[in-house]
DNA sequence: TTCTTGGTTATCATATATGATAACTCTAGT
DNA sequence: ACTAGAGTTATCATATATGATAACCAAGAA
């Protein structure tokens, strides 16, 4: 909640955003989604249009501990101009 | 269908399987799932047990053009001993 | 042949993701 | 103060993923 809010504000600083965008690390799912949209420089509404849905659903996807389907993840990524694949690494 | 069948037979050859397991390329979703289970050396039933579900559902997941949720993908990967993350690469 | 094992398919019930709409907050400008 | 833009939240309807069970196929071994 307040973490999201903080991130939101922080990312408004263009320099900070640039740095943030460089980090390609292992984030949780939501962070990965936010990062894609951030890099694309799109609003939720713009992503929604490209996904043929509504902005409220994008908000839900990005906030409410999401459990989206693979096709939804693909649509979102494509809307943000990304190709998506799974990365599996052996646990040990 | 027959592709799956072919793959199935081919992968019974241990040498071929070893080679197949080395390839970490951009597969479609289903191939990535099959590869994980193949590397783990588990049967559908074993994966099903670890995921607390039934083997028929695993088969459906691996065959019927799947659109699983993120949590299902995670469960499957964990059952096979893998950690999972998204890999997004910019389209151009 | 018969049995076992791994995988497939069909089906139904249930849980949950998604679509759609509306009302709301917050912030930045003007 | 007012407005506009971006995001949030609540809610309902509907589509679809998932769980569960049973019957089936194919291949290999005894």
Query: How does pLDDT run across A27-74, given as a tens digit for each residue?
Result: 689 999 999 999 999 999 999 999 999 999 999 999 977 899 999 999
Distance CA B32, CA A70 (A): 13
User: What are the boundaries of each domain within chain A?
Assistant: 26-79
- Domain B2-79, CATH among 3.30.70.520, 3.40.50.1370, 1.10.10.1100, 1.10.260.40: 1.10.260.40
| φ and ψ at residue B16, rounded to 5 degrees | -60, -45
Cross-chain Cβ contact B26/A85 below 8 Å: yes
Query: How does pLDDT run across B5-37, given as a tens digit for each residue?
Result: 666 666 666 666 666 655 544 468 999 999 999
Predicted ipTM of the assembly: 0.84
Cross-chain Cβ contact A87/B88 below 8 Å: no
Contact A4, A63 (CB under 8 A): yes
B41 at interface of A, judged by CB pairs closer than 8 A: no
Distance B30 CA to C11 C1' (A): 24
Distance A80 CA to C29 C1' (A): 28
In CATH, which superfamily holds the domain spanning A26-79?
lambda repressor-like DNA-binding domains (1.10.260.40)
Q: Is the dihedral of CA A45, A50, A56, A59 positive or negative?
A: negative
Contact B73, B35 (CB under 8 A): no
Beta bridge partners of residue B82, listed in sequence order? A90
On the CB side of B49, how many CA atoms lie within 13 Å of its CA? 4
Query: How does pLDDT run across B58-73, given as a tens digit for each residue?
Result: 999 999 778 999 999 9
Neighbours of A86 (CB within 10 A): 22
């Amino acid at each position: 909640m307040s973490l999201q809010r903080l991130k939101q504000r922080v990312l408004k600083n263009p320099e900070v955003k640039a740095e943030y965008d460089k980090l390609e690390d292992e984030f949780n799912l939501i962070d990965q989604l936010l990062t894609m949209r951030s890099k694309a420089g799109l609003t939720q509404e713009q992503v929604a249009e490209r996904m043929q849905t509504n902005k409220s659903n994008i908000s839900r996807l990005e906030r409410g501990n999401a459990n989206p389907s693979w096709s939804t993840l693909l649509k979102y990524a494509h809307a943000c101009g990304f190709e998506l694949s799974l990365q599996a690494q052996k646990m040990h």
